[in-house]
């Protein structure tokens, strides 16, 4: 019985370790990732005052594509113009969560219409 109890306890601890949520943040510096609606979005951003720039990676069933992002962040609102070679420009607009390091956002343009993809800080 003790072994079974130890096994259950150890299993539950191991299962919880990978997706730790970070506390809320007031800037978008760093790496942000999210997977939703069949797409994965990764943003590596640098913020200076309210200006934001960086790189982006978008993946879906059609492949994975790298590009650049630039825009503004005035807490809690993020606006990014994303440029990926071979695609029309598109926009990622989102709002920073007040309870965790998460941006709830959506992609528009280049075939996307309000495609929701939330990203979390890594």
Kindly report, residue by residue over 12-65, the tens digit of the pLDDT.
Answer: 333 444 457 799 999 999 999 999 999 999 999 999 999 999 999 999 999 999
CA distance 80 to 5: 49
> What is the C-alpha separation between 55 and 85, in angstroms, rounded?
13
Q: How many whole angstroms separate alpha carbon 25 and alpha carbon 44?
A: 15
Q: Is the pLDDT of residue 10 over 90?
A: no
Domains in the chain, start-ordered, CATH in brackets?
22-121 (2.40.128.20)
pLDDT one-digit tens code per residue, 49-59: 999 999 999 99
Tell me the backbone φ, ψ of residue 2, rounded to 5 degrees: -65, -40
Average pLDDT of the segment spanning 85-104? 97
Question: What average pLDDT does this structure show over 94-109?
Answer: 97
Strand boundaries in the chain, DSSP class E:
30-36, 39-48, 51-60, 63-74, 77-83, 90-96, 102-109, 112-116, 119-121
Q: Flag whether pLDDT at 1 surpasses 80.
A: no
Question: Looking at the predicted structure, is the pLDDT value of residue 117 above 80?
Answer: yes
Q: Which residues pair with 67 in a beta bridge?
A: 56
DSSP assignment string, 54-74: EEEEEEETTEEEEEEEEEEEE
């Amino acid at each position: 019985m003790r072994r079974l109890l130890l096994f259950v306890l150890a299993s539950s601890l191991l299962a919880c370790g990978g997706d730790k949520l970070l506390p809320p943040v007031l800037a978008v510096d760093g790496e942000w990732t999210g997977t939703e609606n069949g797409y994965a979005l990764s943003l590596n951003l640098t913020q200076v005052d309210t200006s934001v720039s960086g790189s982006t990676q978008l993946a879906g069933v059609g492949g994975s594509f790298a590009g650049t992002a630039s825009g503004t962040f005035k807490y809690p609102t993020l606006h990014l113009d994303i440029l990926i070679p071979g695609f029309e420009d598109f926009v990622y607009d989102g709002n920073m969560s007040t309870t965790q390091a998460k941006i709830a956002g959506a992609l528009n343009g280049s075939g996307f219409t309000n495609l929701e993809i939330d990203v979390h800080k890594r």
